[in-house]
Amino acid sequence: MSEVLLEVRDLVVHFPTPDGVVKAVDGVSFTIERGRTLGVVGESGSGKSITFLTVMGLINRKSARVSGEVLFEGRNLLEATTEELRHIRGDRIGMIFQDPMTSMHPMYRVGDQISEAILAHRNVGKREAGARAVEALRQVGIPAPEQRARQYPHEYSGGMRQRAMIAMALVLDPDLLIADEPTTALDVTVQAQILEVIDELKQRLNIGVALISHSLATVADVSQDVMVMYAGRPVERGTRGEVFDAPLHPYTLGLLSSVPRVDVRVERLVPIEGSPPSLINVPPGCAFHPRCPYRFDPCDRDVPDLRDRGGGHDDACHLSAEAKAANRRERLDMQEPVT
Amino acid sequence: MSTDTRGGAAEPLVAVQDLVKRFPITRGIILQRQIGAVHAVEDLTLHIARGETLGLVGESGCGKSTTARLMARLVEPTAGSIRFDGEDITHLSGRAMQHVRRKVQIVFQDPYASLNPRQSVGQIIGAPLRIHGIEGDRRRQVQDLMEQTGLNPEHYNRYPHEFSGGQRQRIGIARALALRPSLIVCDEPVSALDVSIQAQIVSLLTDLQKEHDLTYLFISHDLGVVRHVSDRVAVMYLGRLVELADRDALYERPRHPYTAALISAVPQGTGANRRRIVLQGDVPSPANPPSGCPFHPRCPKARIISGDPAVVPENCATEMPSLTAVAPGHTAACWYPLVPGDDLIAAAEGMAPEVVEQAEEAATA
Amino acid sequence: MGRYIVRRLLWTVLVVVLVTLLTFVIFFVLPKGDPATRFAGKSPTPELIQEVKESLGLDKSVPEQYGLFLKRLVTGDEYGWPGLGKSFQNKQPVRPELIQRAQVTITLIIGGALLWLAIGIPVGVISALRRGSVLDRVSMGTALFFVSAPVFWLGLLSLYVFWKQLGWLPGTGYVSFGASPGTWFSHMLLPWMVLALLFAAIYARVVRGNMIDVMTEDYIRTARAKGLSERRVVMKHELRTGITPVITLLAIDLGVLVGGTIVTETVFNLQGLGNWLLIAAQNNDLPVTLAVTVLVAAAVSILSLVADILYAVLDPRVRYQ
């Protein structure tokens, strides 16, 4: 029986501004289970990062209108006090970010920055916290952790800094790790190391992971569950196999056929036309319809909700399951490698 | 992509010989003393045939962006020569360079930073025409370029901030096209764009190439994009060219261990259980590159040869291998190019911790 | 580090040489009449002028005079080390008066600096934390007022209010600490405040700007993601990077003020360096001008060295380079 760690129900995060309301997150629901990685894919402005910053209580609640439920350990985090949230952050949920170069304080030693997280949540001495920080660095594969703990972030390479960030996020054995674009700022060969470290720790510690990325391929390589987001809403959600082998939503299909691959060469990429919408003026109906080659009658009026529409997993598109299957076949034919 | 003149006897459009670019590291404010140099590009020799796309891939510090600037002669090389269209342009300046600049244009990574926010799109795209004193109805010429690059010609008087990221890159491309160049150096042209926009720009570039007989030097860290657009692909590591081959040969039969690892590291979306070569350590600093082959501290093949995860063969550690032919049209700079049966995955996993440590030391030195 | 400090001290010597050379050149290239004539009385005879010239050392060539000045500076003269000669104006040795006046000015500057740091930093930090609030707008408005208020006006106004009208504080002049600490303090209080208000306003704005930049840094988000208390995020993570740049600012300001508190000294009738420099420059009193110049140049150079060392201690990235 799988254990649900985090359940988000109908999360809405709107930011009122003088130019209008920015609908950053507009109805997002998902669950993360222990021992599994949920990959969240979307472009900039899809709401993927804001969703998880809201889960962590890291957005400015004064400037945002938030509704829905974020259930963690039987509690709605949206109703938790600042102090309650603080006890969850870093202790029960760890988070790492895109740019390891700027994510650590430049004037404190790496070991001390990790110890600080321990001291914030556990009643232990500084010496004990320091020893646990060194151990955490060892766990993420940093060589000579005793010496490295005494160094400053600028003495680390980019990949090592991201490892140290992971050590910091996992040092208190949280149940959930949120990784927001953890490899985007890194070199390709280092990206592979970091993904491997996250995956290995997930299995060893039996935690749940949310992996946020703009890259479908990154998500596909290490996730068991996948959610694709567009303009603040999820458009497709399922297991890795379901979403990648049998994509339903035209946006997912568009992403898959527009990203060039290294393992095969396709004759022609099929770009998605147009640009992502402004979150102040989200198109009515399905937000993707102005860019969708398959749009028809209801698309610019009715917002399609995310559910199983006969395709085998959840999607938010008005097309019939047959039409989606036909589109997929057509697109996959174009993806056949040229020889 | 036209390949008419490839491999023929015709003279290449660009020929680069033993190109070196070092940036001095100085200390002191008034009396500057040089205390070292960043070895941005070392002994680069390659050519680009007319009408082809040469892809150039590598990680941070590999020298690909410096190569782009050298080719466009935005910086002057420390040593070596660059021939463009049969003419030595290595040290050209002034008027003579002006003439070459018309023929070589560059498209930058960041469309936000490379457009003047106070100029209208018409002025931006028309600027090269004005600077080079091209006659004719400038407005019509510019609108023509806008149309070719998928921009609405009616937006002639708009400003960059009124456009999306993809459209701004189209503006950058239109500006590069204005003088009808023969070579366009594309320096990470899609890296700053959203995933759904990248394919639009890539397709635009390939369409324009056919239409205008353009030659591209296409620089990117995205191996998928490079495979899609290139005829031949060059791989750089720490300022040096390590492998150069036809696109499919390079991706399907890489001979340099670094190329193999680089391709293997790219997420392919084929599932969680795919095994890949995971190199240890980070890319070393180009200010202090390792001795011998710059890749030797991280190289799994060197460990296969030595049979000991902690040891590399002596020539790898002391002598830089030169670029040699491993197959027709396929060169690699490696003492022990890959052969079928090399298990780099196992070798990379088996590398001893002290080796990893050395690699990290090199990366942060 | 040792080599670095030695190099910077040598650099200081070079700065002193260059600045005094410049002073010499200005003095002789832009003469306001022959200095000897000026000091020789109302109706001088050529013999008297010649006598004065000799006594002031003005009979020698300019390079010779400069060489002599440097030599005395290094080896000392009959009044002690460093040798600074006699004033043209009152024929008194420069050195003892310099020491006395330096005490007044340094008292003024250090007291003022402590005050402006104590006001400027907290106001800047709190304004940044409560950005856009009434408190922020009031303090930044007040800061703008004090940045633009002329010091002499502020000085005279404060004297008028606290001395003439209210009678809470004594008027102008300096009383040495040794003579009476209480009187010393009450005499310095107004000059300190007037000097501090201008700088407190500048520092509050700088600190606020730094803090606002720091607050959006990724590592501050990381600190919150670790579950640190808000208090710790501000006190340990934001302040550290937000305030460190103030050190450089402080060092430069202190150095410049050694010869630059002219207005404050004049308004409050404090016999300090700035005051002296002004009078000396007006009266072509070369030895006094040179003495103050040497002191200011050395103070600026050495304080900036101290600031750089402090910066390296506080910021490991600087140490690393």
Indicate the residue of A141, A157, A217 with minimum beta-carbon distance to B267: A217
Is residue C175 domain-shared with residue C306, that is, in the same domain?
yes
User: Which residue among C94, C111, C146 closes a domain?
Assistant: C94
Q: Which residues of chain C does A104 touch, with a Cβ-Cβ cutoff of 8 Å? A: 219, 222
Assess C230–A contact: CB distance below 8 Å, yes or no.
yes
Q: What is the pLDDT of residue C69?
A: 86
Report the distance separating Cα A62 and Cα B208, nearest Å.
49
Residue C321 lies in a domain: no
User: Which residue among C94, C112, C147 closes a domain?
Assistant: C94
- Sites in chain C below the pLDDT cut of 70: 1, 31-35, 37-42, 319-321
The residue among A150, A151, A187 with the most chain B CBs within 10 A of its CB, best to mutate, is A187
pLDDT single digits (tens) B9-56: 578 999 999 999 999 887 766 666 778 889 999 999 999 999 999 999
Mean pLDDT by 10 residues, chain B (365 residues): 47 93 78 81 94 93 91 91 92 85 89 85 92 86 93 92 90 93 94 89 94 95 93 96 96 94 84 74 86 92 88 91 94 94 84 65 62
SS3 category, B81: strand
How much is the pTM? 0.87
Is residue C280 domain-shared with residue C199, that is, in the same domain?
yes
Cα angle, residue A280 at apex, residues A274 and A283 outer, rounded to 5°: 50
SS3 category, B42: strand
**What tokens does A215 get?**
């890259």
User: Between C62-75 and C2-29, two packed helices, what is the crossing angle to 10 degrees?
Assistant: 140
Inspect the interface and report whether the beta carbons of A103 and C222 lie closer than 8 Å: yes
CA distances (Å), origin B210, targets B101, B226, B229, B339:
22, 17, 12, 37
CA distances (Å), origin A122, targets A126, A196, C39, C303, C304:
11, 29, 79, 44, 43
Whose structure tokens read 């000396």? C280
Residue C89 lies in a domain: yes
Residue C43 lies in a domain: yes
Report the distance separating Cα B300 and Cα B310, nearest Å.
10
Residue C319 lies in a domain: no
Q: What is the pLDDT of residue A236?
A: 96
Is residue C159 domain-shared with residue C283, that is, in the same domain?
yes
Whose structure tokens read 């391929």? A217
Inspect the interface and report whether the beta carbons of C317 and A106 lie closer than 8 Å: yes
Residue C25 lies in a domain: yes
Assess C216–A contact: CB distance below 8 Å, yes or no.
no
User: Between C246-257 and C181-215, two packed helices, what is the crossing angle to 10 degrees?
Assistant: 140
Report the distance separating Cα A194 and Cα B329, nearest Å.
35
Chain A CA closest to residue B62: A187
Q: Which residues of chain A does C314 touch, with a Cβ-Cβ cutoff of 8 Å? A: 107
Report the distance separating Cα C199 and Cα A247, nearest Å.
64
Is residue C136 domain-shared with residue C51, that is, in the same domain?
no
**What tokens does C319 get?**
């140490």
Chain B CA closest to residue A269: B199
**What tokens does B73 get?**
């002669």
Q: What is the pLDDT of residue B228?
A: 93
Q: What is the pLDDT of residue C90?
A: 82
Closest-CA distance, B85 to chain A, in angstroms, reads 30
Could you say which DSSP state residue B2 is in?
-
Measuring CA to CA, which residue among B250, B221, B216 is closest to residue B233?
A: B250
Indicate the residue of B197, B227, B364 with minimum beta-carbon distance to A260: B227
Sheet holding A75-76, edge to edge: A20-33, A4-17, A65-72, A75-76
The H or E element that residue B69 is part of is helix B64-71
Is residue C172 domain-shared with residue C243, that is, in the same domain?
yes
Q: How many CB pairs under 8 A join A and C?
A: 76
Report the distance separating Cα C131 and Cα C208, nearest Å.
9
Q: How many domains does chain C have?
A: 2
Q: Which residues of chain B does A143 touch, with a Cβ-Cβ cutoff of 8 Å? A: 353-354, 356-357, 360
Is residue C162 domain-shared with residue C76, that is, in the same domain?
no
Inspect the interface and report whether the beta carbons of A105 and C226 lie closer than 8 Å: no
Residue C129 lies in a domain: yes
Is residue C170 domain-shared with residue C37, that is, in the same domain?
no
Chain A CA closest to residue C219: A103
Indicate the residue of C226, C314, C316 with minimum beta-carbon distance to A168: C226
Chain A CA closest to residue C313: A107
Residue C224: which domain range?
95-314
Q: What is the pLDDT of residue C146?
A: 87
Closest-CA distance, C310 to chain A, in angstroms, reads 13
Question: How many C-beta atoms lie closer than 10 Å to residue B150's C-beta?
Answer: 16
Q: Catalogue the E-assigned strands of chain A.
A: 4-17, 20-33, 37-41, 65-72, 75-76, 93-96, 176-180, 208-213, 225-230, 233-239, 307-308, 314-315
Is residue C67 domain-shared with residue C176, that is, in the same domain?
no
Q: Are C290 and C27 in contact (CB under 8 A)?
A: no
Chains touching B (3+ CB pairs < 8 Å) = A
Indicate the residue of A94, A102, A117 with minimum beta-carbon distance to C217: A102
Which amino acid belongs to residue A37? T
SS3 category, A264: coil
Assess C223–A contact: CB distance below 8 Å, yes or no.
yes
Encode chain A (339 residues) as per-residue pLDDT tens digits. 579 999 999 999 999 999 999 999 999 999 999 999 999 999 988 999 999 999 999 998 889 999 999 999 889 999 999 999 999 999 999 999 998 889 999 999 999 999 999 999 999 999 999 999 999 999 998 988 999 999 999 999 888 999 999 999 999 999 999 999 999 888 888 898 899 899 999 999 999 999 999 988 888 888 999 999 999 999 999 999 999 889 999 999 999 888 888 887 777 788 898 889 999 999 999 999 999 999 998 999 999 999 999 888 999 999 999 999 999 888 776 555 544
Assess A89–C contact: CB distance below 8 Å, yes or no.
yes
Indicate the residue of C227, C230, C241 with minimum beta-carbon distance to A87: C227
Q: What is the pLDDT of residue B211?
A: 93
Could you say which DSSP state residue B310 is in?
T
Chain C CA closest to residue A99: C218
Is residue C144 domain-shared with residue C214, that is, in the same domain?
yes
Is residue C114 domain-shared with residue C224, that is, in the same domain?
yes
CA distances (Å), origin A271, targets A294, B203, C202:
14, 8, 54
- Residue-by-residue DSSP string for C36-93: HHHHT-SS--HHHHHHHHHHHTTTS-HHHHHHHHHHHHHH-BTTBSS---B-TTT--B
Q: Which residues of chain B does A188 touch, with a Cβ-Cβ cutoff of 8 Å? A: 59, 221, 223, 262, 265-266
Q: Are strands B87-88 and B79-84 parallel, antiparallel or unpaired?
A: antiparallel
The H or E element that residue A196 is part of is helix A188-205
Is residue C236 domain-shared with residue C101, that is, in the same domain?
yes
The residue among C222, C229, C238, C321 with the most chain A CBs within 10 A of its CB, best to mutate, is C222
Is residue C213 domain-shared with residue C271, that is, in the same domain?
yes
Whose structure tokens read 């202090």? B288
Residue C269 lies in a domain: yes
Q: Are B317 and B296 in contact (CB under 8 A)?
A: yes
SS3 category, C168: coil
Q: Are A164 and A96 in contact (CB under 8 A)?
A: no
**What tokens does B69 get?**
């600037």
Q: What is the pLDDT of residue B362?
A: 63
Window 140-199 of B: residues touching A by CB (8 A cutoff) are: 164-167, 194-199
Closest-CA distance, A85 to chain C, in angstroms, reads 8
CATH code of C144's domain: 1.10.3720.10
User: Which residue among C94, C122, C156 closes a domain?
Assistant: C94
